[in-house]
Amino acid sequence: MINLSSDLPVRKIISKDDLEEFKSSPLYSDLILFLSKLSDSVNGVSTSDSDPESPISGKFLPTFVDPHTAPEVCKYLDESFGNRKRIDYGTGHELNFIAFLLCLDKLNLFSPSDFKNIVLLVFYKYIHIMRYLQFTFWLEPAGSHGVWGLDDYHFLPFYFGSSQLSLHKHLSPKAIHDKDILQEFKADYMYFDMVHFVTSLKTGSLRWHSPMLDDISGAKSWAKVNSGLLKMYQAEVLSKLPIMQHFYFGSLLKFDGGSLLPPETATMLDSDLGQDCKDGHVYAMGQEFPVCCGIRIPSAFAPLASSDSNRVMPFD
């Protein structure tokens, strides 16, 4: 039984110890299980197999008229679209959208039969909205790994997309190197769509600008890719203090451990100044050497939009 609260969710991870405690919590297990269920729901299912007439969108409205759930659910949704002060977006914001969906699931608004359309209609539409915002406002990648990441902004479309391809008899992970295949199948498989999008923004070979994607293409099967990406998500997103210190906890997504921040500290973290950072970054606290929330690297959209078509940018 969930004891609902109308209070806003709060941050509770400010140190390595807090993060390790979170990784041992029931909520962490719930997040992994939810992601696995979403992935399994599109196993062998193409994007075109979604149900456009699905009543799933109507299940969202009742949540927001409940005064006990609205503050928490809306907080996760609000955090899903990037930081309005730093004008950036990254996997932590993407995680908040999953948290938003998990809240609705905990409120029993979804049935198992809804999960396929949650991925192919709701989540994928969210990705397209974010793609529009990234392109329009040149959002900076938050906490990007640069060339050693899957993508400047996203992770989960690759995870869900690998599940879509896991039963395909002919398209192997190496198929991402074939531009014709990417063009032909990008509308059917999220993984191909994401790789096609990355290659359309950056010049040079995949090995040059996205070595991680290139390495993954050497996997023996999509099932191996899928299981490996979940492990990578746990290590590179859910286990990273600079990402998880921004995550909120409430009555639906409950974490009994961690450190409750004093009001003045919480205010500082949400301020324009951040912690001694001229760019408004928030620092990971509780470490010997505080780590900033991300190395500021240029968005690929900026040079794409501002350059001549024949001009090669030095960081492409």
Q: Please answer whether residues 13 and 261 qualify as being in contact, where contact means their C-beta atoms are separated by less than 8 angstroms.
A: no
Q: What is the per-residue pLDDT for 201?
A: 83
Calculate the average pLDDT of the chain. Answer: 83
> Looking at residue 11, what DSSP letter applies?
E
Q: What are the Cα distances from residue 80, in Å, to 17, 73, 74, 257?
A: 26, 11, 10, 24
Q: What are the Cα distances from residue 136, in Å, to 4, 54, 77, 305?
A: 38, 30, 20, 9
Q: What is the per-residue pLDDT for 268?
A: 60
Domains of the chain: 10-306 (1.20.120.1150)
List pLDDT tens digits, range 150-207.
888 999 999 999 999 999 999 999 999 999 999 999 999 999 999 999 999 888 888 8
Of 89-93, 134-138, 141-145, least confident by mean pLDDT is 141-145
Q: What is the per-residue pLDDT for 3?
A: 58
Distance CA 257, CA 18 (A): 7
Could you write out the DSSP letters of every residue in 54-75?
-GGGGGTHHHHT-TTTHHHHHH
Q: Which residue has the higher pLDDT, 160 or 51?
A: 160
Q: What is the per-residue pLDDT for 266?
A: 63
Residue with structure tokens 């409205």?
Answer: 61
List the one residue out of 300, 308, 310, 288 whose CA is nearest residue 89. Answer: 300
Is 172 exposed, middle or buried (CB count within 10 Å of its CB: 0-12, 13-18, 19+)? middle
Q: What is the per-residue pLDDT for 213?
A: 95
List pLDDT tens digits, range 242-273.
999 999 999 999 999 999 876 666 656 655 43
Of 102-111, 135-144, 229-238, 269-278, least confident by mean pLDDT is 269-278
Contacts of 308 (CB under 8 A, 6+ apart): none
Residue with structure tokens 């009001």?
Answer: 263
Residue with structure tokens 């029931």?
Answer: 26
Q: What confidence category does residue 300 fall into, taking pLDDT thresholds of 50, 70 and 90? A: low
Of 2-11, 66-75, 89-98, 125-134, least confident by mean pLDDT is 2-11
Distance CA 68, CA 271 (A): 27
> Looking at residue 23, what DSSP letter applies?
H
List pLDDT tens digits, range 209-232.
899 999 999 999 999 999 999 999
Q: Please answer whether residues 95 and 243 qualify as being in contact, where contact means their C-beta atoms are separated by less than 8 angstroms.
A: yes
pLDDT surpasses 50 at 89: yes
pLDDT surpasses 70 at 296: no
Q: Which residue has the higher pLDDT, 315 or 123?
A: 123
Amino acid letter for position 277: C
List the one residue out of 237, 281, 205, 303 whose CA is nearest residue 19. Answer: 237
Q: Please answer whether residues 54 and 41 qualify as being in contact, where contact means their C-beta atoms are separated by less than 8 angstroms.
A: no
Q: Which residues of 3-28 are buried (b: 16+ CB within 10 A; e: fewer)?
A: eeeeeebebbbbbeebbebbeebebb
Cα torsion 105, 109, 114, 115 to 10°: value is: -10
